[in-house]
């Protein structure tokens, strides 16, 4: 087989070219090829070499697919050492993104040139790792300890110009990679520039308090992660030693982290979030047009969807019920775009152009006549949705995609209001829609395949993470949420406080606990959901009433400064309200429940068992295609800790038999709520795990 690395002579300049699509990862063949090409250059008459890559990007890192498998020689640090040890200079040309091991190859080269627009980064922490091919040792020697640690702990991508000012690259050249490389190589020849090895430099002195401040910041921002602080320790310890000793410390840190469940979880998340978008059913199916988006409703959700579309270059027509509401929606969108300008995400002139040319607000449904895809984001009742879809059916052009942003209603029932159910789909955005990455794409019974493809194309255009979901109350995300929230409520009824539950789950790694989330979303939302489901309630269901009491007291959460927590100047993020405990205690007393203590571990065990069990039902019923779709939904829409990979990955980690044992144990006291998912039982019986369903 041809090597993915080639060597060619351009007079006095040798060119080492990596060609390993799609992102030139340093697979075993690339590593072998780099060593062979370096040897060829060493033995050749060429005086300087250009090291570059073909395709859309320079090397984007080590081949992540190899992680967790037995390592194959040559190892990347040795390959890089081999290049750096050459006695003739090597100029590395960076285009696209030089990430992880790719950037480490560049650091092992003697000179670095960035093509305009190129970026570098050390994103290993996103995989639960630290740079393992010299990144923690060479970068501090090149640019100083603090900026180096900031780069690899933040995993941010550093643009070409900033690289130049930090001293990471020697030049930024606005030419093709090969021309840029040859230009700089000629400069090396003309000026007689020598071999310059970063490993022979020493780390510049730095202020200890600055390092301490960075550590504190990182510890706070990356709570629960083990790799970030280990990276700083490795860089600091190694930076005080000869390079070769420092490399040993880095290697040890890298391999220690490679064995952790966090590494396995984060690599699972990396591949899972890419897999949700590649559906076999969409192979070869072209999406419909989506240049012009209609949005019905200019509230928080509709406004956020409109902003998301505008920022992605799509034309938006937003419909509100009257001129005044349309103006209000337009003002809200303008304000959000102003915030984007303030955050540096949008140029002021671009904001003006978007508002003037790309956005129309109107109270007339006929303004949607030319829209390619319309997303309804009106109040969440079936009657209102049906009315909207009847109107859309009358005014939209043939072939327009008609989407509902409902978060739980029956999309089949909504589609039945039109004469074109094949054009109807659910597109469930998460609030704030211009920020949250998840998009549940709800495929109804009659939805046409190219309409599904259009949903996925929209997600791509909006840079969202799409997950295919089937129709059921709450789809994937909210259906599972309802179940684990109920498990939490049961524990409150039995004696745990909402505050202990929130704390146990935040300590587990969740961004927020369920009761803090309820305050954020609004206690009224939970109340209305309970009211909606009341008629179909089974008498065996155990339901807490304290949420209704809070609702009737006007304690609607953050928006009224009181919910489960009190929000004021003293505690803007909220502090537990003892009155809530009193309300709950009264309910327990009225129901004859003697409260008992819970440990945090017990809370997590029960909460997670409920989440996993419902996740297994969702997969078993075909609402989610695979366990990984559940994981991605929870990671991107519900604050599930990424370093645990998602609930189904976590279940595999703790063992499906132990999850089933928890469910069976709880079923002894409540066999209505705790009904084991048939899929979970089957997998346990067969000795398999959820990951076996992710393949293919
Ligand atoms: C590392 O380097 C460790 C070293 O320090 C030490 C080693 C000893 N490997 O994202 P996309 C696949 S750790 C294997 O859709 P984009 C990806 O799965 C690594 N495969 O494209 C997808 O496959 P498919 C540090 C990889 O243009 C396809 O490429 N580096 C890798 O939106 C296209 O990817 C990173 O963490 C890989 N390294 O974004 C960088 N990378 O088509 C991770 C991608 O079958 N990668 N694939 O679904 C990225 O951030 C983005 O992929 C990138 C391109 C920005 C490069």
3-state secondary structure 19-64: CCCCCCCECHHHHHHHHHHHHHHHHCCCCEEEEEECCCCCCCCECH
Nearest to 497 by CA among 438, 557, 580: 580
Q: How close is the Cα of 121 to the center of ligand 1, in Å? A: 12
Maximum C-alpha span of the chain: 91
Residue owning the nearest CA to atom 19 of ligand 1: 61
Q: Give alpha helix (H) positions in 522-626.
A: 523-533, 546-552, 578-591, 600-620
Instruction: Work out the end-to-end distance of the chain between its first and last CA atoms, rounded to an integer number of angstroms.
Output: 26
Q: How close is the Cα of 39 to the center of ligand 1, in Å? A: 28
Q: How close is the Cα of 63 to the center of ligand 1, in Å? A: 7
Q: How close is the Cα of 25 to the center of ligand 1, in Å? A: 7
Q: How close is the Cα of 97 to the center of ligand 1, in Å? A: 10
Residue owning the nearest CA to atom 8 of ligand 1: 132
Closest ligand 1 atom number to CA of residue 63: 9
Closest ligand 1 atom number to CA of residue 126: 36
Report yes or no: 92 and 112 within 8 Å, Cβ to Cβ.
yes
CA gap 414, 385 in Å, rounded = 7
Q: How close is the Cα of 60 to the center of ligand 1, in Å? A: 6
Q: How close is the Cα of 286 to the center of ligand 1, in Å? A: 26
Pocket test of ligand 1: the residue of 4, 64, 131, 230 to mutate, having most ligand atoms within 8 Å of its CB, is 64
Question: pTM for this one?
Answer: 0.94
Closest ligand 1 atom number to CA of residue 64: 9
Question: Which residues form ligand 1's pocket by a CB distance below 6 Å?
Answer: 22-23, 25, 57, 60-65, 76, 97, 99-101, 104, 123-124, 127, 131-133, 135, 274
Residue owning the nearest CA to atom 46 of ligand 1: 60
Q: What is the DSSP letter of 568?
A: S
CA gap 8, 184 in Å, rounded = 17
Collect the ranges in the chain with pLDDT lower than 70. Answer: 1, 696
Closest ligand 1 atom number to CA of residue 57: 56
Measured in residues, the chain has a length of 696
Residues whose CB is less than 8 angstroms from the CB of residue 226 and which lie 6 or more positions away in sequence, other chains included? 128, 257, 260, 262
Closest ligand 1 atom number to CA of residue 274: 48
Q: How close is the Cα of 607 to the center of ligand 1, in Å? A: 33
Q: How close is the Cα of 61 to the center of ligand 1, in Å? A: 7
Closest ligand 1 atom number to CA of residue 22: 29
CA gap 111, 50 in Å, rounded = 9
Task: Say how far residue 164 (Cα) sits from the centre of its chain.
Answer: 29
What is the tens place of the pLDDT at every residue in 495-534? 999 999 999 999 999 989 999 999 998 899 889 888 888 8
pLDDT attached to residue 1:
65
Pairing of strands 90-94, 13-18: unpaired
Pocket test of ligand 1: the residue of 23, 275, 632 to mutate, having most ligand atoms within 8 Å of its CB, is 23
Q: How close is the Cα of 24 to the center of ligand 1, in Å? A: 9
CA gap 280, 570 in Å, rounded = 53
What tokens were used for 647?
């609930």
Residue owning the nearest CA to atom 16 of ligand 1: 23
Residue owning the nearest CA to atom 30 of ligand 1: 61
pLDDT attached to residue 695:
84
Pocket test of ligand 1: the residue of 60, 74, 104, 462 to mutate, having most ligand atoms within 8 Å of its CB, is 60
Residue owning the nearest CA to atom 27 of ligand 1: 23
Q: How close is the Cα of 258 to the center of ligand 1, in Å? A: 17
């Amino acid at each position: 087989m041809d090597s993915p690395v080639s060597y060619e002579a351009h007079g006095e300049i040798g060119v080492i070219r990596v060609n390993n699509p799609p992102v030139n990862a340093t697979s075993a063949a690339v590593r072998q090829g780099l060593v062979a090409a370096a040897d060829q250059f060493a033995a050749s008459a060429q005086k300087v070499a250009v090291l570059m890559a073909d395709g859309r990007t320079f090397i984007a890192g080590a081949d992540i697919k190899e992680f967790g498998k037995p390592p194959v020689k040559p190892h990347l640090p040795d390959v890089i050492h081999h290049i750096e040890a050459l006695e003739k200079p090597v100029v590395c040309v960076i285009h696209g993104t030089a990430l992880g091991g790719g950037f480490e190859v560049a650091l092992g080269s003697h000179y670095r040139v960035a093509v305009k627009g190129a970026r570098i980064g050390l994103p290993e922490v996103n995989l639960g790792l630290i740079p393992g091919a010299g990144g923690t040792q060479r970068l501090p020697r090149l640019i100083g300890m603090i900026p180096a640690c900031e780069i690899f702990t933040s995993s941010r991508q550093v643009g070409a110009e900033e690289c130049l000012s930090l001293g990471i690259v020697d030049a930024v050249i606005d030419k093709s990679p090969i021309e840029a490389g040859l230009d700089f190589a000629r400069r090396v020849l003309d000026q007689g520039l020598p071999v310059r090895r970063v490993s022979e430099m020493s780390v510049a002195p730095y202020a200890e308090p600055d390092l301490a401040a960075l550590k504190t910041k990182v510890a706070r921002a990356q709570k629960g992660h083990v790799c970030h602080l280990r990276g700083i320790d490795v860089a600091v310890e190694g930076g005080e030693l000869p390079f070769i000793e420092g490399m040993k410390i880095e290697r040890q840190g890298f391999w220690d982290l490679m064995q952790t469940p966090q590494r396995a979880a984060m690599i699972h998340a990396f591949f899972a979030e890419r897999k949700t978008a590649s559906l076999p059913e969409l192979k070869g199916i072209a999406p419909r047009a989506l240049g012009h988006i209609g949005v019905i409703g200019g509230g928080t959700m509709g406004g956020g969807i409109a902003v998301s579309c505008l920022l992605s270059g799509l034309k938006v027509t937003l419909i509100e019920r009257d001129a005044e509401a349309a103006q209000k929606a337009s003002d809200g969108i303008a304000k959000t775009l102003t915030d984007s300008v303030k955050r540096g995400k949008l140029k002021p002139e671009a904001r003006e152009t978007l508002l003037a040319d790309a956005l129309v607000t109107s109270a007339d449904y006929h303004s949607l006549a030319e829209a390619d895809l319309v997303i309804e984001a009106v109040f969440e009742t079936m009657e209102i949705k049906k009315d909207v879809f009847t109107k859309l059916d009358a005014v939209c052009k043939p072939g327009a995609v008609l989407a509902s942003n409902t978060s739980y209603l029956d999309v089949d029932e909504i589609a039945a209001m039109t004469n074109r159910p094949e054009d109807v789909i659910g597109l469930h955005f998460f609030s704030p829609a211009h920020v949250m990455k998840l998009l549940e794409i709800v495929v109804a019974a009659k939805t046409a395949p190219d309409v599904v493809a259009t949903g996925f194309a929209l997600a791509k255009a909006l840079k969202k993470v799409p997950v295919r979901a089937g129709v059921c109350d709450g789809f994937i995300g909210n259906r599972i949420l309802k179940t684990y929230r109920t498990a939490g409520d049961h524990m409150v009824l039995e004696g745990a406080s909402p505050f202990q539950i929130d704390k146990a789950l935040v300590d587990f790694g969740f961004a927020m606990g369920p009761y803090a989330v309820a305050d954020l979303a609004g206690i009224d939302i939970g109340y209305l959901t309970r009211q909606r489901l009341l008629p179909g309630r089974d008498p065996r269901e155990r339901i807490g009433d304290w949420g209704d009491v809070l609702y009737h007291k006007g304690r609607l959460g953050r928006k009224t400064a009181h919910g489960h927590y009190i929000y004021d100047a003293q505690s803007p993020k909220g502090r537990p309200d003892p009155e809530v405990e009193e309300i709950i205690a009264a309910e327990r007393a009225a129901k004859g429940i003697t409260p008992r203590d819970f440990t945090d571990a017990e809370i997590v065990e029960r909460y997670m068992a409920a989440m996993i069990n419902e996740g297994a039902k969702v997969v078993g019923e075909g609402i989610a295609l695979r366990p990984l779709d559940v994981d991605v939904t929870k990671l991107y829409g519900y604050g599930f800790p990424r370093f645990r990979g998602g609930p189904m990955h976590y279940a595999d980690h703790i063992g499906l038999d132990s999850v089933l044992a928890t469910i069976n144990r709880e079923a002894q006291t409540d066999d209505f709520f705790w009904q084991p998912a048939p899929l979970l039982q089957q997998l346990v019986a067969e000795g398999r795990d959820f990951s076996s369903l992710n393949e293919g």
